């Protein structure tokens, strides 16, 4: 009769549990696919795809290659769309040696961090590519430290269908009338605080009202982002990302230099309330800041 070692049974159970908990969606690249076309299909940014798969701007994908499809996270998207290096974070850290097959996305996920936080504590920029054997910083309190790279690499599941429409994750706070001295993307909005996974303000508007930039900068992302409809990210010279979301139409393109007061597009209908309104957020190193206190110019 075969006798099973109690320790090996426990280890096997942990590996099986990790396989379930850390399963990731993957996509098998088809002929003619590009990172841009795949990002459009899944309604995320190209920068997120690169970070999730440890790809540089010069890497070319090939038919048959499997790509990790990261969860949509607009804070990560904002951080990765920025051209500025992240500032050092106040998170307590310890050292981690990069393993073969690791990506910034996987390391962040396995250590309870967002990609934005991982970039910040390592002072990486959005184009950073990591290599096996490299030592980087991770959060000091790490409940997943025993997870092996082999377990992560074997836990992927293939799903070649785009992610379904994200549910409404907004938690609403106080509603206030706009201060006439503060410039907003739309005129005289009613402002409702939005908290939870999404953190910013919801602005009421007139049907098809023009959405105007409140600060000058460069359009870093223009397109549909999962759960937010049509979105424009504008990065200021100081590195802040102004996120104008829920637009009905867009008049700018990625790379355009946007002047303060320039028309970005028009307000769309909210998918939940079916009223003309938009959600406005401002991010610093991927972390939301109070939109009412963000610089205007």
* Contacts for 278 with CB less than 8 Å, ≥ 6 apart: 185, 186, 202, 203, 205, 211, 244, 245, 246, 247, 267, 268
Q: Which residues, listed in sequence order, are joined to residue 96 by a DSSP beta bridge?
A: 136
Cα distances from 141 to residues 22, 29, 50, 77, 110, in angstroms, run 18, 36, 27, 25, 12
Write the DSSP string, 67-107: EEEPPP-HHHHHHHH--SPPPPP---EEEEEPPTT--HHHH
Longest dimension (CA), the chain: 81
pLDDT tens digits for range 44-91:
999 999 999 999 988 999 999 999 999 999 999 999 998 877 666 677
CA distance linking residue 56 with residue 126, whole number of Å: 10
So what's the pLDDT on residue 13? 44
Q: Which residues, listed in sequence order, are joined to residue 195 by a DSSP beta bridge?
A: 171
| Secondary structure, 3-state, 27-66 | EECCCCCCHHHHHHHHCCCHHHHHHHHCCCCCCCCCCCCE
The whole model's pTM is what? Answer: 0.76
So what's the pLDDT on residue 167? 53
* Contacts for 27 with CB less than 8 Å, ≥ 6 apart: 38, 42, 66, 67, 69, 158, 159, 160
* Contacts for 239 with CB less than 8 Å, ≥ 6 apart: 82, 84, 284, 285
So what's the pLDDT on residue 83? 80
**Do residues 230 and 215 touch, judged by C-beta distance below 8 A?**
no
Angle between helices 46-53 and 35-42 (to 10 degrees): 110
Cα distances from 47 to residues 51, 116, 219, in angstroms, run 6, 12, 14
Unique residue bearing structure tokens 């990506």: 103
So what's the pLDDT on residue 147? 33
So what's the pLDDT on residue 259? 97
**Do residues 246 and 270 touch, judged by C-beta distance below 8 A?**
yes
Tokens at residue 49, please?
Answer: 């795809």
**Do residues 29 and 68 touch, judged by C-beta distance below 8 A?**
no
CA distance linking residue 193 with residue 249, whole number of Å: 24
So what's the pLDDT on residue 171? 64
So what's the pLDDT on residue 6? 55
Which residues does the chain have with pLDDT short of 70? 1-24, 86-89, 141-174, 176-178, 180
So what's the pLDDT on residue 24? 58
Angle at 204 between CA 203 and CA 207, to 5 degrees: 130
So what's the pLDDT on residue 156? 37
């Amino acid at each position: 009769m075969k006798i099973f070692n109690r320790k090996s049974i426990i280890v096997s159970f942990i590996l099986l549990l990790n396989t379930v908990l850390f399963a990731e969606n993957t996509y098998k690249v088809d002929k003619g696919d590009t990172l841009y076309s795949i990002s459009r299909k899944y309604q995320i940014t190209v920068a997120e795809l690169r970070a999730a798969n440890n790809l540089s701007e010069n890497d070319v994908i090939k038919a048959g290659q499997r790509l990790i499809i990261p969860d949509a996270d607009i804070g990560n998207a904002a951080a990765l769309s920025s051209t500025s290096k992240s500032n050092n974070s106040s998170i307590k850290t310890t050292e981690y040696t990069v393993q073969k097959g690791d990506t910034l996305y996987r390391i962040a996920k396995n250590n309870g961090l967002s990609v934005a936080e991982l970039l910040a504590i390592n002072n990486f920029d959005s184009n950073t590519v990591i290599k096996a054997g490299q030592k980087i910083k991770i959060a000091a309190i790490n409940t997943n430290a025993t997870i092996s790279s082999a377990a992560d690499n074997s836990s992927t599941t293939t799903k070649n269908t785009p992610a379904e429409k994200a549910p409404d994750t907004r938690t609403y706070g106080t509603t206030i009338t706009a201060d006439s001295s503060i410039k907003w993307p739309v005129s005289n909005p009613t402002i409702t605080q939005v908290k939870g996974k999404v953190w910013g303000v919801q602005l009421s508007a007139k049907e098809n009202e023009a959405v105007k930039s409140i600060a000058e900068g460069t359009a870093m992302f223009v397109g549909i982002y999962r759960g937010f409809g049509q979105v424009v990210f504008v990065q200021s010279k100081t590195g802040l990302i102004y996120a104008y979301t829920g637009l009905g139409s867009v008049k700018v393109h990625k790379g355009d230099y946007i002047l303060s007061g320039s028309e970005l597009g028009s307000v769309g209908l909210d998918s939940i309330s079916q009223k003309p309104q938009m959600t406005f957020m401002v991010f610093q190193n991927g972390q939301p800041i109070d939109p009412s206190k963000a610089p205007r110019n």
